[in-house]
A and B are shown apart, each in its own frame.
Chain A
């Protein structure tokens, strides 16, 4: 594994995306539109103030999961992965290259979503907007790495799309948006404590209401970071140079 090969891979993935302007527009605009729709739905109620921060975590996470898992699956299916693995490319170069490229896109996407939520939809953020952005970006990178991992277990595009409801929806349902996590049944509460999206949503709500100190946010970021590292390592392990 070398920095040159990792960066070349990230650059290559970004060039591929650059040749697809429609994807870029969808990537940057769709989360904001959905957040705007929510703000409109709940315009005369206090609900948006409560669930708005969680939504900032949700949409980049889902979109990044989908985009990454499909792109990497395509690489497996078109033979380019076989070619790369017969070349001196480290498995880590590939996974980290993808993480870097989509991580950069995630930064842009989260920045647009946060900006839209705060300045257009009037979401009240009492804490630091930079901390909010940091959590949102970590969350989108998490979506990227889980998408990379999911693509290893899918043989077809149909399968990989099914991983979205399988891996992502439970995290949304248990994450505290539908029902605050402390009101969940004990068993579900315990499960939700282990899921990364719960911590992302907790952290975003804490920043929005400014009820916790930076150390708490840092702790939540660490948990998300651990999931990111775990998914990258597992993704590298499941990548095999020799296939049956």
Chain B
């Protein structure tokens, strides 16, 4: 058994290119255990690529990625890491329950787990509906419910709160903290800066690099900003691009 105080995820000098475009160039970062870590940054900055690498579905050029003490993507991790892609990856032509029953069978989790995750994601009353007939927010909750099956040790959630109403977002962040309280490590990405204050720890990312790795309070203190958005802008001003522009090289806009 690996020392439980070792980080949940440890990334060293990671290089990834998607197509001809280098996305991550020498990124190093670590995600501690048992807390909610927010991965924030403009769209196109490499959040999804980093998450795909941690889950082990991304071809990498070089670098080491260790997850829960094992090499990312190794077979022993496939039970222990829950992954929610940005677009809900669920079957529209199955009911909510049938989706979860299938994922449960693939994971080999106990049968009663389906009812547990339905209750956690507030989908019990929709269990018999076809996923294709649900709203966008409900569909993404089905996707999240699938990742909660089998109580994984690490949850990698790519923008899980996009398109949800404010009340539901609060409920989900409460759920994330409940999961962290029982020892689950969570890495949650978002491009909405006001979600940053809900995280225990923040990774601010821009253009394939980590600009800051701190607690929300520490980040505000270090930058003297009033909110995370201001902190992010202050950091960008400290680390301008070689061409002097503040904007990300991709389509993203930090504001």
Binding site for B on A (CB under 8 A): 4-5, 8-9, 11-12, 15-16, 19-20, 78-80, 82-89, 93, 241-244
Contacts and interface: CB of A to CB of B under 8 A. Distances in A.
A139 B119 CA distance: 46
Contacts of A82: 57, 85, 89
A84 B87 contact: no
Given A15-B94, A83-B146, A242-B73, A88 B108 contact: yes
Given A15-B98, A244-B59, A87 B89 contact: no
A89 B106 contact: yes
Nearest to A83: B89
B79 A88 contact: yes
Contact of A244 (B19, B87, B102, B105): B19
B98 A12 contact: yes
B106 A8 contact: yes
A80 B57 CA distance: 13
B171 interface: no
A4 B73 contact: no
16 contacts: A4-B108, A8-B106, A12-B102, A16-B91, A78-B92, A80-B91, A83-B85, A83-B89, A83-B146, A86-B56, A86-B78, A86-B83, A87-B106, A88-B107, A242-B56, A244-B59
Nearest to A93: B106
Interface residues of B, number: 31
Contact of A243 (B57, B91, B93): B57
A87 B103 contact: yes
B75 A88 contact: yes
A66 B19 CA distance: 29
A80 B94 CA distance: 13
B165 to A, nearest CB: 23
B18 interface: yes
B106 A80 contact: no
A19 B133 CA distance: 12
A27 B56 CA distance: 38
A8 B102 CA distance: 6
Q: Which of B78, B89, B130 has the most CB of A within 10 A?
A: B89
Given A83-B83, A242-B58, A4 B91 contact: no
A197 to B, nearest CB: 31
Contacts of B146: 83
Nearest to A78: B89
A238 to B, nearest CB: 15
